[in-house]
Amino acid sequence: MKLLEPYTKAIPFIISILFVVLFIFAASSKLIDYYRFQQQLEQSDILKGYAGTLSWIVPTIEIVISLFLLIPRFRIIALYACLGLMIIFTIYIALMLHFSETIPCSCGGVISTLGWRGHLYLNLCLAVLAFIGIFTSIGLQKRFFNKNTT
C-alpha cells in the first residue's frame, strides 16, 4: 500500500479541482444569463414554484462549495456537499426523465450538448468521484491521526 500513498494524497485534491472548475463554470453560466436560467427553472414541472429562489441559491451553493474545496481544512466537508448536490441533481434529472413531457435545459457550454441521459450518467459519475474523494480523504485522515497518536 505504500506504493499507492502518493496517489491517495493527490486523488482528493484532483477531484476537488475538477469540482471547482465544474461548479465555477456552472455558477458563472447561470449568473451571466440569470434570467434565462430562471425562465428554464420556471418551465420545469417540478421546480416552477421555486424558480425564483433556486435561481440564486443553486449558483451560490456551487460557489461556496468551490471555495470550501480550495481550503484543505474544509475539503472533506465540501466533498460531502458535492456528493449531496450530485445526488440531488441526479434525482431531479431522473424525475424529469420519468414524469415530464418537456425538459428545459439550463446548462451551458459543452455540458448542454449531452442530452438528459448524458446528464444523468455524468452526474452519477461525478457522485462516484465525490465518494472516491471522500473515501481517500478519510483514509488520509486516519493515517495522519494514527501516526500522531502512536
Residue 148 has pLDDT above 60, yes or no: no
Asked whether 141 and 147 are in contact (CB, 8 A), the reply is: no
Q: Say what the pLDDT of residue 101 is.
A: 73
How many helices and strands (H and E) does the chain possess?
Answer: 5, 0
pLDDT band at 140 (very low <50, low <70, confident <90, very high): low
- Which pLDDT value is given to residue 63? 98
Give the residue among 31, 121, 93, 23 at the shortest CA–CA distance from 64: 23
pTM: 0.85
Q: How far is CA 93 from CA 50, 102, 117, in A?
A: 16, 12, 8
CA 43 to each of CA 52, 66, 92: distance values in angstroms, whole numbers, following the listed order? 12, 28, 14
| The pLDDT value given to residue 106 | 61
Angle at 94 between CA 47 and CA 117, to 5 degrees: 115
Q: How many CB atoms lie within 10 A of CB 76?
A: 20
Residue 44 is given by DSSP the state -
pLDDT of residue 4: 61
Other CB atoms within 10 Å distance of the CB of residue 25: 17
Mean pLDDT of 61-65: 98
Q: Name the average pLDDT for the chain.
A: 87
Nearest to 8 by CA among 107, 124, 142, 104: 142
Question: pLDDT above 70 covers what percent of the chain?
Answer: 81
Average the pLDDT over 60-85 and give the result. Answer: 97
Listed residue (48, 19, 20) closest to 106, CA to CA: 48
The band of 99, judged by pLDDT with boundaries at 50, 70 and 90, is confident
**What is the average per-residue pLDDT within 55-61?**
97
Residue 141 pLDDT > 70, yes or no?
Answer: no
Residue 52 predicted with pLDDT over 60: yes
